[in-house]
Amino acid sequence: MGSLSIWHWVIVLVVVLLLFGRGKISDLMGDVAKGIKSFKKGLADDEDQDKPAASGSTETAEPRPLPHQATKSAEAEKKPV
């Protein structure tokens, strides 16, 4: 009742191949590989964009309120009197 034997896995593999076929499985794995490559490229692009902004500016920027948090009173506080 514990783990599955090799024969269980062979039967599962045969059933999966019969249901999906070789073509669909290889297409699916290709799509997974493309998704992983795209994810890694996106992470690399984010790191490249963050580096110049951090090293180029030595001043600290004032935090901006989010659009849904901006109110007229917050705008009035910023204006010198």
Domain boundaries defined on the chain:
21-50
CA distance 78 to 62: 11
Please give the helix or strand (H or E) that residue 33 lies within, else none: helix 6-56
pTM above 0.85, yes or no: no
Residue 39, pLDDT score = 93
- Mean pLDDT over all residues of the chain? 77
Q: What is the average pLDDT across 56-65?
A: 68
